[in-house]
Structure 1
Amino acid sequence: MTSYRQPGVVLTDHRFTVPLDHSDPSGERIELYGREVVASGKADAGLPWLVYLEGGPGCAARRFVGQQAWLGRALKEFRVLLLDQRGTGLSTPADRQTLPLRGGPQDQAAYLAHFRADSIVRDCETIRPGLTGGAPWTLLGQSFGGFCATHYLSTAPEGLATVVITGGLPSLDATADEVYRAAYPRIARKVEGHYARYPQDIGRARRIAEHLAEHRVVLPTGYTLTPEAFQSLGILLGGGDGSHQLHYLLENAFVPTPGGQALSDTFQEGVASALSYAGRPLYAVLHEAIYAQDDRATAWAAERVRAEFARFDAAKTLAGEGPLYFTGETIHPWHFDADPALRPLREAAELLAARTDWAPLYDTARLAANEVPVAAAVYHDDMYVDTDHSLSTARAIRGLRTWVTDEYEHDGVRASGPRVLDRLLALARGED
């Protein structure tokens, strides 16, 4: 283990090996990376552990500097483990560069089927005893990390002292189709809210989409920017400052050139940064699989359900007069054509979309008998996770306390500094 310092904290790198398939503990093993963080002056204190599970799927734990965001609040009483979930960050990587080592698309898809919440929770339970001495730990789950926390409560509650969930209470039984059928109206409200704030962006968005419909645009990164890909910038609207980010991106779209108006390098660079999945390919490959737990294929649910909402059809919009509607946290087959980081994974993604033997993720009887203190922030009209689904699940988990708020968007635990975590810990402890 290697320890080092940042302002106000001591960091220690941990590496663990765990089975790829926990049902075959003597089989292939993969590596996990976790970054331990403790407040300066408390490195030798016997503090309880808090493990943080990032949103996603497929996102590494956030790289904090010092005591940023919620971390400062956590370090007042915990030793924190920022875990890079399997396949992400410094854990054994799973991406276009490494997955060909597995073999062809069939082998890659079979490998990636082990990267859902069930495996992540088994990973946590494998490494916990060695870190905590066997004591249960507190879990903070953001977004998809909350999905993992809900599975944890379903399968290994003995490993949990307290659970805090932010923007991540999943439906216990909704299919992927039902998730997206609920999502598109929320996305539409976020788009309408953006245009109400920045009405000048209505014309700008249409003009950009028209340009993309008439010209083949390949960004410097190799990303093919189609009207549909441009629409997916709406994923920004789920964050607290996302509307403003989108506005500043759109206002700088065009520059005059000897050949006429063209998309500016500044705009193209910003779009490439916002849309590329190079740093988190599993987010795209496994996104719909996180909802799968029956014998039904997800079968590109977001793409199929989008056809039920005509306002999101870019071609129809450009043929008429209405505003262009951005999409949000939706993954489509064309992502695997547009994004060079995803193109080599297209066949594996197709196989995962067709898979029909996913294991159940949640045990409703066990959740109904829950004894672990749990508190959850439910963000009113969260673009990423349906509020009604979250509240239904909250009622199904015995003893869970909710804080429903419209003060923050999906990124509230980061945007609020210490406030969201502080409030939820108090709720879980019956102090609020």
Structure 2
Amino acid sequence: MSFKSGELSLVLLLMPELAVAGELNQANTAWVLTSTTLVLFMTIPGLSLFYGGLVRSKNVLSVLMQCFAITCLVSILWLAGVYSLIFADGGDLQKLIGGTSKLFLPGIGTESLTGDIPETVYFMFQMTFAIISPALIVGGFAERMKFSAMLWFSGLWLILCYLPVCHWLWGGGWLADLGAMDFAGGIVIHVNAGVAALVAALVLGNRRGFPTTAMPPHNMTMVVTGAGMLWVGWFGFNAGSALTANGNAGMAMLVTHIGAASGSLTWMFIEWQHFGKPSVLGIVTGMVAGLGTITPASGFIGPTGALVIGITAGIVCFYATHYVKRTLKIDDSLDVFPVHGVGGVTGSLLTGVFAASGLGGLGLADGVSIMDQVGVQALAIAVTAAWSIVFSYLILKVLDKLIGLRVTADEEVQGLDIVLHEETGYQDL
């Protein structure tokens, strides 16, 4: 997750495990500190409000609680060892996994640097990405999973799915060596979490009444508020991944905004044509699709590429959402797989196209053609999806045997807020 210039050698040089320690750069430090705050803002309160508004009123607190608890859990696991196993030197196993030298950050003080920013800042910045990844999966099993099962699943998924994939791409692993491009998480986060959400939806089964009973969002004002926070926070997500306060971060921010806007309008116009009226839910969902799809490409492409990727995101994710729910009748409650998973796949493949200098991008590595790069992207996507499918399924099945995954039918009807937390989101309920 460092700035890519198009030259593979420079990409690797700037990766954290190979960065040459230098003097503290205060401008870069300030920007990454700001970006860290923005990315955490995406999860709490952004994603929390977005997801909370999308569920029924009897389950709103359960979703807010899940996002909040995941933030706390991942933070502790990140300190305990996940950060180290991704970014510390793994020695002979470096291509597969990092080392243990940074468990609990021994010897890391105010003067310790990663590149030209404090390692504490880099630690925090990367931690916010780890936090939002399992939080995204919440949308796949919303309104029916036990809180205890959710905690266990989130922690184990972070260790068994997020950790290895993140190391392979951002920690000096074998996918990075192959030249796979993922600037800010299209593969590491969106494909990984999107596939896991689909697996969770299939293992848990549909909510009672789905798909015959309408389950509309209970509070669209909350949804739009959360969506707006996601849009703003995403600038830290993508532009912050440059790890520099310069034109590279500026370009990443620009293409992120164009991707969001074009994805949003495209979804709105398709929905308008199909159903006669544009919906608020549609325009904000299109925005999220545009943001998720532009994420892997954001540090490699120009504005024209961003426009095409955003439009493509609106089209592909719209039809994927309807196919999953209406044709396959899979209750991925908040459309995590068709928006984030499919968007991540689409954006990651198109990164290999629009990163080419002839198409306005910053350029591919020497001797690498568009077809070569798209092939590497496809391999990284396939490996990530397969890994996430297998381990997400195993985690869920083991937890189901040990503690059970799902609340009872009566508890689901009553609502998770009162059943699991003895609280309600609204006083009149």
User: Going by fraction, where is helix more abundant, 1 or 2?
Assistant: 2
Q: Higher Cα Rg: structure 1 or 2? A: 1
Indicate the structure with greater strand content.
Answer: 1
| TM-score for both structures, normalised by structure 2 | 0.28
RCO greater where, 1 or 2, for CA within 8 Å and sep 6 or more?
A: 2
